[in-house]
Each structure stands twice: as structure tokens, then as C-alpha cells.
Amino acid sequence: MADEAHPTPPVDERSVPFFEAAERGVLALQRCEACGAFLHPVRGRCTRCGDTRIVWVDASGRGRVWSHGRLHRSYLPEHEGLLPLSLVWVELDEGVRFASRLAREERVGVHTGDRVAVVFERLADGTPVPVFRRGT
């Protein structure tokens, strides 16, 4: 189902591998070849050791809700028709935190600590974006 209301996220040279993986239904993260740290958001240098040997790897797409909120009022046009909307910060099993929202069909409450797994929904232009569904 296409999401008519959400604008396409910016895609630049550094984020192309993320969106290529999303087309395959996979959440990709950067990983430092020197120390093994996972990185998010997209970086040119490791935030742990400073090395620039960064590669893209397929992530598990699983994690726990670290924080959440529920949007009941639309402050942006792209939220019209999607309310209430559950926004989540997910701490992925790889150790990074990822901001997103729950999948459209997840209309009931979410709790800190809930296990979630990534799924992809498509924007109006066909761009896949990661959202989360409860369970693993």
C-alpha cells in the first residue's frame, strides 16, 4: 500500500545502500571494519574509534522499543489520515537506536521494552521505508 501523505526521504550518495537493501526488504546498517561498531544515522567515520573503513551490512531488523509516543493531532500535512500514529525509538539488537513509527496496522498501544521487527511500507513514489511491527 502506498503512503500518499509522506514525502520521500532524501537519498544521497551515502544512503543509496540503505535504500537498495530496503528494496530487498532488508534493514541495512553501517558497520566499522576496524572495531565492529554499528552506526546509525549514516556516517563517514566511526563514532567509536574514528576509522573511515565503513561498510554496509544486513541487520537483523529486530529490537526493543526504547521510547515511544502517540501522535493524536496533525501538525504536519503528511500525518493527515494516519492518526493516531505511534512513533517509536527502537534499540536494534545491533545496539543502535532507530527512529521510526509502528506499521499502519499496529493501531493499539506499544510499551517500552516490547520486541519489534522491521517491515517496509512504500511511499507514494514507491520508496520503501522501514517501520516496525510488534513481535519477532
**In a shared domain, residues 55 and 69:** no
Above 50 in pLDDT, residue 4?
Answer: no
Q: What is the pLDDT of residues 28-49, one digit of tens each?
A: 999 999 999 999 999 999 999 9
CATH number for the domain spanning 78: value is 2.40.50
Q: What is the spatial distance between Cα 120 and Cα 6, in angstroms, rounded to a whole number?
A: 14
Q: Please state, in angstroms and as integers, the Cα–Cα distance from residue 104 to each residue in 1, 38, 111, 121, following that order.
A: 10, 28, 17, 9
Range of the domain at 115: 61-136
Has residue 85 been placed in a domain? Answer: yes
Last residue of a domain, one of 43, 59, 75: 59
Encode pLDDT of 83-121 as tens digits: 888 899 999 999 999 999 999 888 677 899 999 999 999
More confident call, 17 vs 136:
17
High-pLDDT (> 70) share of the chain, %: 90
Q: Are residue 51 and residue 65 in the same domain, yes or no?
A: no
Q: Give the integer Cα–Cα distance in Å for 3 and 15.
A: 21
Residue 2 lies in a domain: no
Please tell me the pTM assigned to this model: 0.85
- Higher pLDDT among residues 21 and 107, named by residue: 21
